[in-house]
Amino acid sequence: MAKKDEISSTEKLLGLIRQKENRAEPPGSPEPSETFQKPPQQTILSNVVPMRKGTAVGIDIGYHELKLARINRVSDKRQELIDFISIPYEEDITPSSTKFPHFLRDTLKNFCGRNKKIALWNAISSAKVETRNLKIPKVSKKQIDNATYWTLKKDLSFNEDEMLFDYEVIGDVVEDGINKIEVMAYIAPRQEIAQQKNLFEKIGFPLTGISIIPFALQNLFRTDVVDTLGKDICSLFIGRDWSRIVIYSNGNLVLSRGIKAGIRSMIEAVAQEISKSKMDMAQESVQPSESSIFGIEEESYILDIDEARKIFFDHICNAEPILLEETGHILREHDVFGMIQPALERLVKQVERTLSHYYLHFNKDRVSKVYVSGQMSVYERLFVFMKEQLDIPIDTMNPFSARLNYMGIATIPETLSEKEAFAPAIGMALSNNSLTPNFIYTFKDKQIADNARKVNQSIVAGILFFLAICFGLFLWGNNLIDEKRLELAKLQAEVETFKPLVNKNLIIDLASKTRNKRKAIKELGEKYKGLAVINEISSITPPEIRLLSISATMDKKPQSNGKQSKQQLELEGVILGDRLTFESTLAGYIVKLKGSPLFQTPSVENKSFKYLDKKEVLIFTAKLDLV
């Protein structure tokens, strides 16, 4: 009977705790976190360091505070951490309150300065985002989206009107000897994406990208801000009501799993154990006759959830032993650990099962390290316990590595847990569309941009080709000009060798001498023209033609019309031989005379057959104009 009463009391206690917890914390709120805090005022670096191209601000909206990080992307392999800040909310402000947009706007204005040409990246809750690492057949680039969609549809059933589908190509892989394409496909709630987008647009700071924290941590690995040394890494985030286990291989997210185990279950375990202790003391102090009213006494000893939470967080932060005033009992470190150990064992068991599933279906290589994040990242006893159970090194993620240039930031968080709290914000600030999955810039937007890029490349290629032709013509023209200049220089050098130098007077004098010389030569030619004519006729006349007489008119007397009379030559001759060849011999003779440079227009004036020395001959008379 006692056992039944104990079970009934326990169930009643848990019910009261959950009711009170639900009243204290509205459902759907972001996870709380203990973080390093900086004053909310505008930093000096906001005014001194100008915003440059490639500057991004990562936003992490937590349950208790707002964390921001600003990073300048110098190149793909070099980033500079410009500033970071954590601002706690006031008592009447929560992420779901009406005052939150004004608080967010003022904070971003102070942090970013006047320049709004920066990339703002924010994260939504990953609880409703499903990710799958898929290996699709080797298809063309245009068919990847279709192949990815239907492969994901086989594994997940979702409504496209409510869920956004997108994917990221990881690379080519070989599976069982078959070439395939590895992709990371994911779906995200459209409503939550639209809410975040509208929130930032209303405050005048439109978002460049929306993603989730697991992808933000992926940025840290891909940019080597957190060096994985090429090993597989596991990230364990322990939240209020749930936890998330994410495994990365070569910096890429491979497996993500959410489990219903978190800080709330550990706080409930603390409350349950201490309440039992109080009830046991109450049962020892009452008389048997008072057992009928035990239930009333039992209610009075139920531990307030806020007190249980305080005991829990004092414990994980290595506080001094806790004294329970009502019972006088002192809770030491091992006492509280014993209370939460069953919940920790269930959590670690889920991690172990997830790793076993990963080794079986994805990669046989063991995970080299587990990074713990969240409020329990300060709990050193947890690290020891998990390492004993999993036999894997346990550590806290440190985004403040030497990989980032701090740009002269005066102070950085001192403890590892304080540094780890900024991992989501810094990871989001490292985001860009080529590195990080973006829920408001999906594969469809990338295809449009890719097509536009191809058109621009074609236009640029055409312009470059045209410029190349123009440049070639320019070089050819320059080469031709150089050749002409060289030729001109040679001619100028030759001119300079002449002595005296040529000038107008010299040319006129040379022209006069040449004219006189030509006149003298012409006069000499006229003087000996008769002799030249006789010599030309003698050389042309064949043996069968005998010339009887040669008469010439050599004077050039002017005629009545002002023209000079022509010089003419008259020949009289006889052709000997066969009568049948007379005509051909005469014609050939006339042709030869016509071909002479001294004669022109030869013609036969008359011809007749006669007998000379009893032989028939052809006597002819011909006239020729002298040149």
Flag whether 302 is in a domain. Answer: yes
pLDDT of residue 50: 41
DSSP states of 87-141 as a string?
Answer: EEPPTT--TTSTTHHHHHHHHHHHHHTT---SEEEEE--GGG-EEEEEEEE---G
pLDDT of residue 38: 38
Same domain, 519 and 589: no
Residues 6+ apart with CB under 8 A from 94: 26, 29, 63, 100
Flag whether 333 is in a domain. Answer: yes
Same domain, 247 and 386: yes
pLDDT of residue 292: 43
Domain housing 503: 498-527
pLDDT of residue 502: 67
**In angstroms, rounded to a whole number, what is the distance separating the alpha carbons of residues 9 and 387?**
36
Flag whether 517 is in a domain. Answer: yes
Please say which residue of 479, 510, 527 terminates a domain: 527
pLDDT of residue 106: 92
Same domain, 287 and 381: yes
pLDDT of residue 431: 93
pLDDT of residue 238: 92
Same domain, 504 and 611: no
Same domain, 536 and 520: no
Same domain, 511 and 574: no
Same domain, 339 and 356: yes
User: Which of 413, 396, 404, 288 minimizes the C-alpha distance to 37?
Assistant: 413
pTM score, whole prediction? 0.66
Question: For strand 615-626 and strand 568-575, is the pairing parallel, antiparallel, or unpaired?
Answer: antiparallel
Please say which residue of 374, 396, 418 terminates a domain: 396
pLDDT of residue 13: 37
Same domain, 392 and 523: no
Flag whether 367 is in a domain. Answer: yes
Same domain, 248 and 380: yes
pLDDT of residue 229: 86
Flag whether 562 is in a domain. Answer: yes
10-residue averages of pLDDT along the chain (627 residues): 38 43 39 37 40 78 92 83 91 90 93 83 92 93 92 91 94 90 95 95 94 95 89 92 92 92 88 74 51 42 70 80 66 84 92 92 87 90 92 91 69 86 94 93 91 93 95 94 93 77 80 90 81 86 89 70 73 89 90 87 88 87 86
CATH code of 615's domain: 3.30.980
Flag whether 482 is in a domain. Answer: no
Same domain, 355 and 241: yes
Q: Into how many domains does the chain fold?
A: 3
Please say which residue of 364, 396, 428 terminates a domain: 396
Same domain, 377 and 274: yes
pLDDT of residue 285: 52
Contact 427, 59 (CB under 8 A): no
CB atoms within 10 A of CB 229: 8
Residues 6+ apart with CB under 8 A from 372: 236, 238, 382, 383, 386, 394, 395, 396
List % helix, strand, coil for the chain (3-state, nearest 5).
Answer: 45, 25, 30
pLDDT of residue 503: 76
CATH code of 270's domain: 3.30.420.40
Same domain, 568 and 511: no
Flag whether 90 is in a domain. Answer: no
Flag whether 164 is in a domain. Answer: no
Angle, helix 529-540 to helix 504-527, in steps of 10 degrees: 60
pLDDT of residue 34: 36
